[in-house]
Each structure stands twice: as C-alpha cells, then as structure tokens.
Amino acid sequence: MKRKGLLIGSLLFVALLVTSVTFAFWASGILGENDEATGTITIGEGEEVQTTVSVADESEDNNLVPTAYGDAGVDDTDVLEFTVVWEGTGATGATGTLNVTIDSYSLGSLSENEIDQMFSINVTSGTGAITAGTDQSVEVEVIFHTEPANQSIYDEVANGTLSITLTFDVDAD
C-alpha cells in the first residue's frame, strides 16, 4: 500500500509539474498587439439667417414756428427719435451698416418743393454701424426755417401735420 501511495503521489507530482511548466511556457510567449482607428466628424456649413428691422412710428406735438418768430434751435426745431431693432435667430452680435433714407414727406396738399422752401429735414444721428440684438437710436431733425410765401401756403401749414416717410435698411457685414 505504501508503494501504491507513493506511485499516486509521484503521478500527482508529475502532473502538477507538467501543468505548471506548460502554463509558464504559454504565458511567457504573450506579446502586446496594436490597432488603429479613425474618428470623423462632419462639419456643416452656415446657413443664411433671416433678420428683421423693426421701427415704430414717432410723433411730436411741438408747435413749430418759423425761425424769425421764436428762439432759433428751440421753437423752430424738432427732433423725431426712432428706435431701430435689428434682430434674427442666430444673428445676435452680427454687425452691419444701418442706412436711413428719407423717402418722402407731405404737408397738406403742398408739393415737396414747397415744403423744402420752408423746412429742412435731415437724419442727424444713428446711421452707420449697428449690432444685431442691440437697439439703435436714429434722430431726424426738422427745422422750420422760413415762413410760408403766401396766404394759401400758410393755410396749409398752420395747424398742419408734416409727415415724413423713412426707410431703415441694414447691410450685413
């Protein structure tokens, strides 16, 4: 029985020895490996942003008189102040140029030439650089510099209303 136990013990020892040598042999032969991969991202292009220019009507109730009949720069002058809003989704911070054009003006049935003989109408501030999302103030100065040339023109001007039509346009940079 002692021999049989020794034989079994020897066989177990040999089996253990072969297994550990085989494991060590395979483990010592493992080397690192590498591979490459590329990631890509598609870049879109900017689209046009639709913007709007918004301006509310402005009205002044001062009673202007010709320069010779009041304090020059006070009684004969009025300033219309318009607030221009240029905006659009995605446009905030963009820059452009604000152009203000006097399209027409009217006073009763008088012609523009007759009005020009009595009044000066000028855009005095607000044109030029504008930033989207920021309000821009535009001032239009009206000076009543010369009295009406005759009674029929006076009748049109006295207690009349001078209406000025303007166009506000933004050219984006």
Query: What residues contact residue 54 under an 8 Å CB cut-off, 6+ apart?
Result: 84, 85, 86, 87
Between CA 52 and CA 84 the distance in angstroms is 10
Q: Does residue 32 surpass a pLDDT of 60?
A: yes
Query: What residues contact residue 3 under an 8 Å CB cut-off, 6+ apart?
Result: none
Instruction: Name the more confident of 20 and 60.
Output: 60
Q: What was the pLDDT predicted at 34?
A: 83
Strand 52-55 vs strand 128-131: parallel, antiparallel, or unpaired? Answer: unpaired
Mean pLDDT, the chain, rounded, equals: 86
Q: Does residue 157 surpass a pLDDT of 70?
A: yes
How does DSSP classify residue 126? -
Q: What was the pLDDT predicted at 44?
A: 83
Q: What was the pLDDT predicted at 62?
A: 82
Q: What was the pLDDT predicted at 167?
A: 94
Region of 108 (left: φ > 0; alpha: ψ -120 to 50; beta: rest) is: left
* Average pLDDT of span 134-153: 95
Phi, psi values for residue 150, rounded to 5°: -155, 175
Q: What was the pLDDT predicted at 135?
A: 94
Q: What was the pLDDT predicted at 28?
A: 59
Instruction: Quickly state the pLDDT bin for 100 (edges 50, 70, 90).
Output: very high
